[in-house]
Amino acid sequence: MSKIQEVKSKVEQGRTKIIPGLVQEALDEGDKAEDILQVMIDAMSTVGDKFSAGEIFVPEMLVAAKAMSKGVDVLKPHLVSGDTSSLGTCIIGTVAGDLHDIGKNLVAMMIESAGFKVVDLGVDVPKEKFIEAVQQNDNVKIVACSGLLTTTMPAMKETVKALKESKLQGFKIMVGGAPVTPEFASEINADAYTPDAGSAAVEAKKLASA
Ligand code: B12
């Protein structure tokens, strides 16, 4: 098995301790950081399918998530550009009721790398906290909301509504996460949706300079 395939399989198995070493070995062998990240994302998708099929349960999903996060820590310096320009502040968080943060963390990392200051509110973030963060930080250009559960999509809608009704200005709202579609994004009045972290950073730059 190639090193990169080994990374995929060990993330699926949630082998947290050996993942950092394996990812480093894959990098040393010349695998691209973007490709290693992609196999880890694929691994999480397999884990989700196994969960849906009742083959694994929440604890297995959790250890797989931890393993992926450890791998991303090793990849981070290879994925970020080190752009030090300041395009403004991006507030990011996973919406209320939702504890998924891997995708949100990747989006935060890529947006930071594109030249924004990122204020990460974490997971299970109530709409009031997003508003407070816009009020308390300077030059907020982007508010990014992540959601991975169909059951928390209403919380995303409520968050966008509250931000739009807050009379605060100068920022655009981006939404994303596996169940979110462009149609849902426009239905809830978000300013932008993108399917992944790389395109989120490109879109954030576009929105901030519009
Ligand atoms: C890992 C995981 C967990 C972990 C999360 C740990 C963590 N620290 O995040 C744990 C074990 C805690 C968990 C719990 C649960 N989970 Co879960 N989980 C997953 C799993 C396997 C992987 C998610 C993931 O990290 N993917 C990898 C990342 C990189 O992808 P991503 O998050 O989609 O992010 C990318 C894009 O969506 C986008 N993006 C993300 N956010 C944003 C934001 C913006 C602004 C933009 C522009 C883009 C963007 O960019 C990202 C990078 O490219 C998914 C399966 C799946 N296919 O998604 C299920 C899944 C999301 N979980 C599911 C469920 C049901 C649950 C539980 C309800 C299970 C339970 N019975 O308790 C709980 C809910 C807990 C809660 N309240 O949140 C279901 C959701 C079903 C649904 N339709 O709602 C899924 C789909 C599994 C399944 N197939 O059934 N889960």
Query: Average pLDDT of 136-156?
Result: 97
pLDDT-derived band at 85 (thresholds 50, 70, 90) equals: low
Query: Average pLDDT of 160-181?
Result: 97
For ligand 1, say whether the CB of 105 is within 6 Å of any of its atoms. no
Residue of 26, 16, 122 lying closest to 69 (CA atoms): 16
Tell how far the Cα of 47 is from the centroid of ligand 1, in angstroms.
Answer: 10
For ligand 1, say whether the CB of 196 is within 6 Å of any of its atoms. yes
The Cα 93–Cα 104 span in angstroms is 7
Query: Average pLDDT of 177-181?
Result: 98
Query: Average pLDDT of 187-191?
Result: 98
The Cα 60–Cα 176 span in angstroms is 24
Domains of the chain: 3-79 (1.10.1240.10), 89-209 (3.40.50.280)
Query: Average pLDDT of 110-133?
Result: 96
The Cα 104–Cα 106 span in angstroms is 5
For the stretch 44-75, pLDDT in tens is 999 999 999 999 999 999 999 999 999 999 99
| pLDDT cut 70: percent of the chain above it | 98
- Average pLDDT over the chain, rounded to an integer: 95
- CA-nearest residue for atom 32, ligand 1, is 103
pLDDT attached to residue 83: 62
- CA-nearest residue for atom 2, ligand 1, is 61
- CA-nearest residue for atom 79, ligand 1, is 149
Q: Which two tokens stand for residue 198?
A: 């790389």
Q: Is the pLDDT of residue 82 over 80?
A: no
Residue 185's alpha-carbon distances to 31, 90, 136, 144, in angstroms, are 35, 18, 26, 12
Give the number of other CB atoms < 10 A from CB of residue 121.
19
Residue of 118, 183, 130 lying closest to 155 (CA atoms): 130
Ligand 1 pocket test, candidate residues 76, 125, 143, 148, most atoms within 8 A of CB? 148
Query: Average pLDDT of 24-47?
Result: 96
β pairing state of 117-120 and 140-146? unpaired
For ligand 1, say whether the CB of 149 is within 6 Å of any of its atoms. yes
Tell how far the Cα of 191 is from the centroid of ligand 1, in angstroms.
Answer: 23
pLDDT attached to residue 134: 98
pLDDT attached to residue 202: 95
pTM: 0.96
Q: Is the pLDDT of residue 84 over 70?
A: no
**How wide is the angle at C-alpha 72 spanned by C-alphas 71 and 78, nearest 5°?**
110
- CA-nearest residue for atom 70, ligand 1, is 58
Where does residue 139 fall: left (phi above 0), alpha (psi -120 to 50 degrees), or beta otherwise?
left
Residue that the structure tokens 């930080």 belong to: 137
Query: Average pLDDT of 156-165?
Result: 98
- Helix and strand tally (H, E) in the chain? 9, 5
pLDDT-derived band at 20 (thresholds 50, 70, 90) equals: very high
Give the number of other CB atoms < 10 A from CB of residue 135.
10
Query: Average pLDDT of 99-118?
Result: 94
